[in-house]
Amino acid sequence: MSVRVGMVSLGCPKNQVDAEHMLFDLKSEGYEIVADAALADVVVVNTCGFIESAKQESIDNILEFITLKNEGRIKAVVCTGCLAERYRDEVLKEIPELDAVIGIGSDKHLPEIIREICEDKRGICEFADKEELSLEGGRIISTQPFYAYLKIAEGCDNCCSYCAIPEIRGRYRSREMEDILKEAKWLADNGVTELVLVAQDTTRYGSDIYGRQSLAKLLEELCKIDGLKWIRTLYAYPERIDDELLGVIAREEKLVKYLDIPIQHCCKEILEKMNRPGDRESLEKLVEHIREKVPGITLRTTLIAGFPGETQEQFEELCAFVKKMRFERLGCFAYSQEEGTAAAGFDGQLDEEEKNRRADVIMEQQMFISDSINAAEVGKTIEVAAEGFDRYAECWYGRSAKDAPEIDGKIFFSAKRRLTEGEYVMVHIDDVMDYDLLGTMTED
């Protein structure tokens, strides 16, 4: 009888791509992949270890499946991903009920490790060099079938003072463009119409292997692939956004006019402590320049509130910046004091309540901005990728080109016929509901 394996992947889309590679390897080795991990023999938890809330979510998931194991409903639990890579032996020491803890460089050994577990070997710890994490190979797409994440690089060289990713994932490694294009073509041939490019820093792509930033060239080549309709880019660092990239986004029809730019803050002193360049003036000029070069572009950003030493005046500067820039999409997170990072040792650490309060203030402010932006959509007819039917609301839902999967809002709409997942339809926007839009599909 074949061994049933279930996987729960947490954290960012980059981690999800790793999970899809592991699923392919497991299936290739004869394991049965089950969608509901609670029905598996062996559960693999692909963890996130980026910030405290993500680590807690990973631990909660592990403990949930260990409970099922203790009840005899599953046979084994394996931990991999960023939490495993970051804390290594500590994970098994703190959670001895785990059957295996493996680092990201050992993901390719997962089928063999599960085989050992099935032979009653327990307490396995394996940590190969993190750069042995392969960026190539087959995948089992775990998103909705019409869109997929395309990881173009691994690791990070930015060394922001608050971030543990370079320690967890290693140095920045771009994939060869030929390999990326080959994978993108395979995805398109298998029904994917929307590609979402991800890396820790997409704008650095190519600098290490080609000697220059090559994201613009890569995007141009991706646009030549038949079958692709929407191509969007996440995690574009502000200091590396240039006119070559903006020109390609403006020119190519398949490139959705959407750019995710993790700015984190606008105050020069805070940015310097974060080990990031720029200041409020330069960032405001950049945003204005992007909007000038790519009319109608949707800009998403992320911010950190409550960074060590952030004064009330500096926080108010951030609030004023957000109010002036009117980002179409924005997320703000309370600073997480991560051990092993430079910022963890900085003076002026704020208490959790104050950090969370500041993040809430930013998000409340953004809510009013989003309400205004969404209200301007009422009366327009826009293209929507249908994602499914909501049985409770009794309507369909989907996303426009202005919305990235999983992180942005939805469009809920009525339709007179049954739709298929990934079908692109025209929807007249009738109303607004929080961060989402309500509409009616127009007649074909």
Encode pLDDT of 389-401 as tens digits: 999 889 999 999 9
The domain limits of the chain are 4-132, 147-375, 381-441
Q: Tell me, what's the pLDDT at 381?
A: 97
Statement: residue 272 has pLDDT above 60: yes
What is the amino acid identity at position 51?
I
What is the average per-residue pLDDT within 326-345?
96
Encode pLDDT of 187-198 as tens digits: 999 999 999 999
Q: How many CB atoms lie within 10 A of CB 295?
A: 8
Least confident of 304-308, 379-383, 430-434: 430-434
Share of the chain above pLDDT 70, in %: 100
Encode pLDDT of 137-173 as tens digits: 999 999 999 999 999 999 999 999 999 999 999 999 9
Calpha distance 65→48 (Å, rounded): 16
Q: Are strands 298-305 and 255-260 parallel, antiparallel or unpaired?
A: parallel
283: left (phi over 0), alpha (psi -120 to 50) or beta: alpha
What is the average per-residue pLDDT within 197-225?
97
What is the average per-residue pLDDT within 349-373?
97
Share of the chain above pLDDT 90, in %: 95
Statement: residue 405 has pLDDT above 90: yes
Statement: residue 223 has pLDDT above 80: yes
**Token pair for residue 364?**
């409340």
Question: How many whole angstroms from its chain centre is CA 141?
Answer: 15
Q: Tell me, what's the pLDDT at 95?
A: 94
Q: Are 152 and 199 in contact (CB under 8 A)?
A: yes
What is the torsional sign of CA 395, 144, 47, 67? positive
Statement: residue 444 has pLDDT above 70: no
**Are domains 4-132 and 381-441 of this chain identical in fold?**
no
Q: Is 369 exposed, middle or buried (0-12, 13-18, 19+ CB in 10 A)?
A: middle
What is the average per-residue pLDDT within 289-299?
98
Q: Tell me, what's the pLDDT at 51?
A: 85
What is the average per-residue pLDDT within 434-438?
91
The 8 Å CB, 24+ separation contacts for 122-126 are: 123/92, 123/96, 123/98, 123/99, 124/99, 124/100, 125/88, 125/89, 125/92, 125/100, 125/101, 126/100, 126/101, 126/102
Residue whose structure tokens are 């980002």 = 327
Q: Are 104 and 85 in contact (CB under 8 A)?
A: yes
- For residue 80, list its beta bridge partners: 46
Mean pLDDT score across all residues of the chain: 95
Q: Tell me, what's the pLDDT at 52?
A: 87
Q: Are strands 42-47 and 32-33 parallel, antiparallel or unpaired?
A: unpaired
**Residue 93 pLDDT grade (very low, low, confident, very high; cuts 50, 70, 90):** very high
Calpha distance 385→404 (Å, rounded): 11
Architecture of domain 381-441: Beta Barrel (2.40)
Least confident of 46-55, 218-227, 376-385: 46-55
Fold of the CATH domain 147-375: pyruvate-formate lyase- activating enzyme (3.80.30)
User: For the structural domain made of 4-132, what CATH number should be given?
Assistant: 3.40.50.12160
**Residue 1 pLDDT grade (very low, low, confident, very high; cuts 50, 70, 90):** low
What is the average per-residue pLDDT within 4-9?
96
